[in-house]
């Protein structure tokens, strides 16, 4: 396929995805079943469009042989959402993380349930409850789609940046459906604050309901009491005022007390044991941290937070072990076998000699 034809198809896929998202937003109040169906279709098309950017054949179902003429005529069987996820993770590093996959698959499960078992009773209270559930799922999935399109895959989706921003504003207008849940959560929030828990604005629904029960230098999962959005978090002590600084699945943060900014290097250095490192080197040993991340290919981004618990300060992946590449001796989490021949994320291994 020529680059021109590929670009045409890419624009067709994305234009249709945006149409489905807009229709999903319009359908939410009066046709919630169709809101779910259209939202799911949009996710599928966006993931397919990213595969198309690599090669058109990746959009064809693995159960069919790719045929260019069938593809261009639209008479082909395309990949499912599961197939798209699998191919993205194998072909387009760093792929999709666990939270993103779970969010997208939750939409699929909800779509299947709505298609097969949805029945409108006309009861307003029941209808409101169903809409609230839809908004929670859609906001979570949109949060991850938004990151993928405007950050991780920004080169591919730059032409649609303005339309993506407009969609984001429209989806945020659905937050009023969750206000009743936030009001019901206030007694729990007040009780939690009295017990020393911290509550921050949820990055998915924006309500001040993301509950943090973790302590300093402890990795934990925060959970929003409104939309149930969960996220891997870690707290460190502010170097300026000693107030807790919360990193919420992101390599940057700001102290809520003194507004001092912290970055990935600050997070890594807070877990580096200088004394242990000194003693290890003094005794002729080796202090490995930070090591590389096998989940996102981050270079020296992983620190040890507790025994058999290793956190990547870049993608917030958590691993229970790390290993050494047999070829380049770099240390990394999620290390593969036979690295002497195949290499790791930062070398091509012994096989590269044959390629030369």
**Statement to judge: residues 10 and 125 lie in one domain:** yes
Residue 281 lies in a domain: yes
Q: What are the structure tokens assigned to 179, written together?
A: 């206000």
**Statement to judge: residues 204 and 141 lie in one domain:** no
Quick one: CA torsion of 79, 82, 83, 89, rounded to 10 degrees? 140
Lowest-confidence region among 89-98, 199-208, 257-266, 336-345: 336-345
Q: What is the pTM of this model?
A: 0.79
Residue 185 lies in a domain: no
Residue 10 lies in a domain: yes
**Statement to judge: residues 53 and 138 lie in one domain:** yes
Q: Is the pLDDT of residue 144 over 80?
A: yes
- At residue 117, the pLDDT reads 77
- How far apart CA 320 and CA 322 sit, in angstroms, is 7
* Cross-strand partners of 235: 216, 246
**Statement to judge: residues 167 and 98 lie in one domain:** yes
For 2-38, what is each residue's pLDDT tens digit?
A: 888 899 999 999 999 999 999 999 999 889 999 999 9
Q: Which of 150, 178, 206 is the last residue of a domain?
A: 178
291 in helix, strand or coil? strand
Per cent of the chain over pLDDT 90 is 74
pLDDT band at 341 (very low <50, low <70, confident <90, very high): confident
Q: What integer is the mean pLDDT of 230-248?
A: 95
pLDDT band at 278 (very low <50, low <70, confident <90, very high): low
- At residue 277, the pLDDT reads 66
- How far apart CA 36 and CA 128 sit, in angstroms, is 15
Q: Is the pLDDT of residue 280 over 70?
A: no
More confident residue, 82 or 285: 82
**Statement to judge: residues 241 and 351 lie in one domain:** no
* DSSP 8-state assignment for residue 152: I
- At residue 68, the pLDDT reads 92
Residue 77 lies in a domain: yes
- Would strands 253-254 and 244-248 be described as parallel, antiparallel, or unpaired? unpaired
- How far apart CA 120 and CA 118 sit, in angstroms, is 7
pLDDT band at 129 (very low <50, low <70, confident <90, very high): confident
Lowest-confidence region among 49-63, 90-104, 108-122, 290-304: 108-122
Nearest to 78 by CA among 7, 173, 160, 9: 9
**Statement to judge: residues 120 and 242 lie in one domain:** no
Q: Is the pLDDT of residue 188 over 70?
A: yes
Sign of the Cα torsion 261, 263, 269, 271 reads positive
Burial label, 290 (beta-carbon count in 10 A; 0-12, 13-18, 19+): buried
- Would strands 219-224 and 230-237 be described as parallel, antiparallel, or unpaired? antiparallel
Q: Which of 178, 211, 244 is the last residue of a domain?
A: 178
Residue 184 lies in a domain: no
Specify whether the CB–CB gap between 324 and 337 falls below 8 A. no
Please, which residues have CB within 8 angstroms of residue 253's CB and are 6 or more apart in sequence?
A: 245, 246, 247, 261, 262, 267
Residue 204 lies in a domain: yes
Nearest to 185 by CA among 211, 151, 149: 211
Residue for token pair 């270079």? 299
Specify whether the CB–CB gap between 207 and 220 falls below 8 A. no
Number of domains, the chain = 3
pLDDT band at 121 (very low <50, low <70, confident <90, very high): low
Q: Is the pLDDT of residue 356 over 60?
A: no
**Statement to judge: residues 57 and 135 lie in one domain:** yes
Q: In which domain, by residue range, is 22 found?
A: 3-178
- At residue 164, the pLDDT reads 96
Q: What integer is the mean pLDDT of 271-294?
A: 77
Nearest to 205 by CA among 179, 166, 243, 236: 179
Q: What integer is the mean pLDDT of 325-341?
A: 89
pLDDT band at 168 (very low <50, low <70, confident <90, very high): very high
Residue 155 lies in a domain: yes
Residue 123 lies in a domain: yes
The chain-wide mean pLDDT, for the chain, equals: 91
Q: What integer is the mean pLDDT of 106-129?
A: 81
């Amino acid at each position: 396929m020529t680059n021109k034809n590929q670009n045409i198809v890419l624009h067709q896929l994305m234009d249709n995805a945006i149409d489905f998202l807009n229709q999903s937003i319009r359908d939410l109040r009066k046709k919630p079943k169709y809101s779910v169906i259209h939202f799911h279709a949009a996710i599928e098309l966006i993931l397919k469009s990213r595969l198309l950017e690599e090669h058109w054949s990746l959009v064809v179902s693995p159960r069919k042989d790719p045929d260019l003429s069938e593809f261009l005529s639209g008479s082909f069987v395309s990949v499912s959402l599961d197939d798209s996820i699998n191919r993205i993770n194998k072909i387009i590093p760093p792929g999709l993380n666990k939270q993103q996959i779970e969010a997208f698959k939750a939409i699929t499960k909800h779509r299947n349930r709505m298609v097969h078992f949805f029945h409108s009773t006309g009861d307003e209270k029941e209808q409101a409850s169903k809409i609230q559930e839809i908004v929670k799922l859609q906001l979570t999935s949109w949060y991850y789609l938004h990151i993928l399109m405007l950050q991780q895959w920004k080169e591919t989706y730059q032409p649609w940046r303005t339309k993506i921003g407009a969609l984001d504003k429209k989806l945020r207008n659905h937050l009023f459906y969750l206000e009743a849940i936030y009001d019901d959560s206030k007694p729990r929030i007040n009780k939690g604050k009295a017990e020393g828990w911290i509550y921050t604005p949820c990055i998915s629904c924006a309500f001040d309901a993301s509950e943090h029960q973790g302590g300093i230098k402890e990795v934990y999962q925060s959970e929003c009491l409104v939309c149930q959005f969960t996220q891997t978090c870690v707290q460190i002590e502010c170097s300026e005022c000693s107030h807790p600084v919360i990193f919420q699945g992101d390599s940057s943060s700001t102290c809520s007390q003194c507004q001092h900014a912290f970055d990935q290097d600050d997070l890594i250095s807070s877990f580096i044991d200088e004394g242990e490192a000194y003693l290890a080197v003094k005794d002729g040993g080796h202090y490995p941290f930070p090591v590389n991340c096998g989940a996102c290919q981050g270079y020296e981004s992983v620190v040890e937070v507790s025994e058999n618990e290793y956190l990547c300060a870049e993608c917030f992946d958590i691993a229970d072990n790390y290993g050494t590449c047999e070829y380049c001796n770099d240390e990394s989490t999620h290390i593969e076998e036979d690295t002497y021949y195949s290499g790791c994320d930062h070398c091509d291994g012994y096989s590269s000699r044959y390629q030369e």
